[in-house]
Chains A and B, each alone.
Chain A
Amino acid sequence: MRELVQKYLEQGISRREFVERLIQSGFSLLAANSVAAAMSPAFAQEAKEGDKPYTRLFRGTGGELLAEQLRAAGVEYLFLANGTGVAPLCDALVDRPEMKIIMAIHEGQSVAMADGYAKASGKTGFAMFSRVGVPNASSNMYNAMKDRSSLVVACDHIDTLAAGREGHEDLEDTLEPVKQFTKWRWNVDATTRIPEWTMKAFKLTSTPPGGPTFLMFPRDILVARDVEAEIFLPGTFQIPMSVRADTATIEKMARALIEAKSPLLRAGPEVWRSKAIPQIVALAELLGIPVTSGEEREGFRLSCNFPTNHPLFLGGFSERMRYPRNVDLLLNMGDRLPDGGAGPTKVARSVKIIDVRIEAPDIGNNYPLFLGVAADVKQVAADLVEAIKSLVTAERLKEIRGDRIEQTRQFVSRLRQARQQAIKASWDNVPLTWERLSSDINEILERDAYIVPEFGTEGPKALNCFTFAEGEKTLIGRTLGSALGWGVGAAVGVKIAQPDKQVVCMQGDGGFLFGQAMALWTMARYQIPVITVIYNNRSYNETRERSFADGGRQAQTNKDMLSYLGDPDVDFVKLAGAFGVAGEQVTRPDQIKPAMQRAARAAQDGRPYLIDALVGRTGRGAELAWYPKLSVAEMRRRKV
């Protein structure tokens, strides 16, 4: 009897079965029902017909449990790099052809691919590889963390009973190195709990503010057979974070915006993540507030948070903007507030700052605030529009807007005129200018192409040539983390997420050579028609320029110790060819458009294509082709 009661309390048997067994042991029906009612667990209820199930039982190997939970999490593509420990998952995928493997030949690129996929699809990316590949993967995990990407990264691990002996490919604590790059990490040391912890990893990374999560699966846990566990069904572990601010806070914000003489709105990555651009545009237009995004020359980062062709869009934020003048209120919607580098903070203390972010711990860290609001920027913007409309008449709104929209439009228009004038001054230059190359690329590309750039400080010269907005180009990258070696793999993921859009990967030669040429292999194998354009100046232009700007010994002696990237001049077309990707080199301006047309045709035919475009170096020391020479061949005493 005691066992029967315990089984019932633990929900091992149903209420009906419990009552039947009580009757079998001599209880009357009435008494049995009475006992069952008294013993009913507080939260136990009979499932009713039509109830939505939350879980389902599955029996199989650890690899199959993982695959089943990944499927329940909506994973369609698995970005995997080779490793014996991934085998149990691959075994499970043999009979699950709807779950597709995208194989990367380097762990860092598998993470970049999953990250690009996540950014362009809005879903969670999944990457897995061997535990010894974790250090390889870490720079792109760092990038993903800085971007708060929705990404689950996994590796295998040594058998549970062998762990902690620094055995084969084992570390004392493999999770420790990824701590800074992940929102949450876990060693999955029980097969029955594979689905639970996998579900948790997906839940945490997809809950704003995101950030990669990390799972480590000991080999014996994944190869275990005939294990039964609950699979958490779709929709049971997603948390909507459409958090609203309370009415009093919204009203305080609304009044401050109404009263501000010269407000400025700063739109950050949370706007893009929250799909809040329409609401931010509506708010800006309601009061005629000029909008900035990103920092100074690095105005283009990660995404487009406000249409770049909108009359209220100013471009990158700067501490000394020419317009608007005398800013008295800064409304920060979903961006980190600008740090001052080594100097003081960038916004004067006299400016009222309203900081709205879902990433609550970050609010108010560097600046004293007029108001800090931990909420979803989309909800706040929508609520603000309503609140402002309810507080003032349409006539008053018109008065507040004044001619701000027109003034902003004129200001930006004059800057664009100057840019056009400057472009023409070097239009026919050989080597090519970044702006000529980008302008011609823009003319050939489809209007709604995806641009995946990974540029340094030269980047704005290229990206200023494109319009990023709804129905126009979509920007994915560069990462906020700036660890080079992300863009080519990311473009693979973007194209998988958006197969019906043109996708262009834009790289400097320096960035391209940061361990990501191997992503071309993945493009070729899976017929992923990405157009890759290398802006090749045979230099790490940014580092040389910045190093020389400090006026140190390199600048004084005209010696470029570490930034010249010629000798040997990398033949990127041959390099692409080795991976099965066709391409060509462009050296003159008149070659750009025909080359891009060939690239677009290749993409139409389902083939990736690479253009190696020789662009000029700029800035201090640009003319230098000097580097510290060393010949090991000449050092030898024996010619072996």
Chain B
Amino acid sequence: MRKIVMLPVLVLLVALAASAQRPQKDEGWSELLPPGEGREMVMTSCTGCHNLKSTVHARKSRADWTKSVNDMIQRGAQIFPEEIEPITAYLSKTFGPDLPQPLNVNTASREELEKLPNLKTEMAARLLAARDKAGPFKNSEELRRALAMEPGDFEKIRYLLKYRN
């Protein structure tokens, strides 16, 4: 049981540690990449030339993600042959056409927040109160603490929240 509780914490710590090492150019967009097979390949290959802002905002079908990945390879993205499929699969699964756009927690209204899957009404109210009191949130960890959420619960919403436009 303890191991199960610890796992999300570990994931979060690893993510935070990685975040600390990233150059400023990333601007925190990689925080919106949920765990999964292919994630690290995306981190390694796609950030050579650009940050992940456009990636985490894109909503595409599998066919369109295939086109995009191939297009990036032609432009010079450093992707190996065996990585094409996992990267395409990860992006298609993670950023499919039906996924809502990430919501800016620092400007979102109560109505917009309440539409988010897995964010209860009471939680939305708590978020707004914390935002009014302490000003804009800088990153996911600051928000999680403000909401006093367990890392495991927070994982359910964190990839749909952004902190800047």
Which residues of A approach B to under 8 Å, CB–CB?
A: 296-297, 299, 315-316, 318-323, 340, 343-344, 414-415, 417-419, 421-423, 425-426, 433-435, 457-458, 460-461, 464, 549, 551, 618-620
* Chain A contact residues, majority secondary structure: loop
Chain A to chain B contacts (Cβ below 8 Å), 23 pairs: A296-B49, A315-B76, A319-B23, A321-B78, A322-B45, A343-B23, A343-B24, A343-B25, A344-B23, A344-B24, A414-B80, A414-B81, A415-B78, A415-B80, A417-B80, A422-B73, A422-B74, A435-B74, A461-B74, A551-B53, A551-B57, A551-B165, A618-B67
Among B48, B69, B71, B83, which residue has its beta carbon within 8 angstroms of that of A296?
B48
| A425-B66 in contact given A419-B74, A457-B75 (Cβ < 8 Å) | yes
Contact residues in B for A433 (Cβ distance below 8 Å):
74
- Indicate if the CB atoms of B75 and A421 lie closer than 8 Å: no
- Indicate if the CB atoms of A322 and B67 lie closer than 8 Å: no
* Chain B contact residues, majority secondary structure: helix
Contact residues in A for B53 (Cβ distance below 8 Å):
549, 551
Among A318, A551, A618, which residue has its beta carbon within 8 angstroms of that of B49?
A318
Q: Which residue of A lies closest to B46 (CB)?
A: A320
In whole angstroms, what is the CA distance A339 to B124 when docked?
A: 42
In whole angstroms, what is the CA distance A322 to B70 when docked?
A: 18
In whole angstroms, what is the CA distance A343 to B67 when docked?
A: 29
| A297-B78 in contact given A419-B73, A620-B54 (Cβ < 8 Å) | no
A-B contact number at CB 8 A: 83
Contact residues in B for A344 (Cβ distance below 8 Å):
23-25
In whole angstroms, what is the CA distance A315 to B75 when docked?
A: 11
Among B24, B44, B81, which residue has its beta carbon within 8 angstroms of that of A322?
B44
| A422-B44 in contact given A343-B24, A344-B23, A460-B75 (Cβ < 8 Å) | no
**Is B116 at the interface (CB under 8 A from chain A)?**
no
Q: List B residues 62-107 near A (Cβ within 8 Å).
A: 66-67, 69-71, 73-76, 78-81, 83-84
Q: Which residue of B lies closest to A420 (CB)?
A: B81
Contact residues in A for B78 (Cβ distance below 8 Å):
318, 321-323, 415
- Indicate if the CB atoms of B66 and A418 lie closer than 8 Å: no
- Indicate if the CB atoms of A418 and B71 lie closer than 8 Å: no
- Indicate if the CB atoms of B48 and A421 lie closer than 8 Å: no
- Indicate if the CB atoms of A296 and B76 lie closer than 8 Å: yes
Contact residues in B for A418 (Cβ distance below 8 Å):
73, 79-81, 83-84
Among B25, B67, B84, which residue has its beta carbon within 8 angstroms of that of A421?
B84
CB distance from B64 to the nearest CB of A (A): 10
Contact residues in B for A426 (Cβ distance below 8 Å):
67, 70
In whole angstroms, what is the CA distance A409 to B49 when docked?
A: 21
| A422-B24 in contact given A315-B76, A415-B79, A460-B75 (Cβ < 8 Å) | no
**Is B47 at the interface (CB under 8 A from chain A)?**
yes
Contact residues in A for B66 (Cβ distance below 8 Å):
425
In whole angstroms, what is the CA distance A620 to B50 when docked?
A: 15
Contact residues in A for B23 (Cβ distance below 8 Å):
319-320, 343-344
| A434-B24 in contact given A320-B47, A415-B79, A549-B54 (Cβ < 8 Å) | no
Among A321, A414, A419, A619, which residue has its beta carbon within 8 angstroms of that of B48?
A321
In whole angstroms, what is the CA distance A297 to B74 when docked?
A: 10
Contact residues in B for A423 (Cβ distance below 8 Å):
74
Contact residues in A for B67 (Cβ distance below 8 Å):
426, 618
CB distance from B152 to the nearest CB of A (A): 31
In whole angstroms, what is the CA distance A419 to B24 when docked?
A: 29
* B 16-50 binary contact with A (CB < 8 Å = 1; else 0): 00000001110000000000000000001101110
Q: Which residue of A lies closest to B80 (CB)?
A: A414
CB distance from B87 to the nearest CB of A (A): 10
Contact residues in B for A320 (Cβ distance below 8 Å):
23, 47-48
Contact residues in A for B81 (Cβ distance below 8 Å):
414, 417-418, 421
CB distance from B73 to the nearest CB of A (A): 4
CB distance from A496 to the nearest CB of B (A): 32
Q: Which residue of B lies closest to A341 (CB)?
A: B25
In whole angstroms, what is the CA distance A355 to B25 when docked?
A: 24
Contact residues in B for A315 (Cβ distance below 8 Å):
76
In whole angstroms, what is the CA distance A421 to B88 when docked?
A: 14
Contact residues in A for B80 (Cβ distance below 8 Å):
414-415, 417-418
In whole angstroms, what is the CA distance A321 to B23 when docked?
A: 13
In whole angstroms, what is the CA distance A195 to B165 when docked?
A: 60
Contact residues in A for B71 (Cβ distance below 8 Å):
422, 461, 618-619
In whole angstroms, what is the CA distance A323 to B66 when docked?
A: 25
- Indicate if the CB atoms of A460 and B74 lie closer than 8 Å: yes
Contact residues in B for A460 (Cβ distance below 8 Å):
74-76
Q: Which residue of B lies closest to A343 (CB)?
A: B25
Among B57, B70, B165, which residue has its beta carbon within 8 angstroms of that of A425?
B70
Q: Which residue of A lies closest to B165 (CB)?
A: A551
Besides A318-B48, A319-B25, 13 more A-B contacts (Cβ < 8 Å) are A297-B75, A320-B23, A320-B47, A322-B48, A322-B78, A323-B78, A415-B79, A419-B74, A422-B84, A426-B70, A460-B75, A464-B76, A551-B53
* B 111-137 binary contact with A (CB < 8 Å = 1; else 0): 000000000000000000000000000
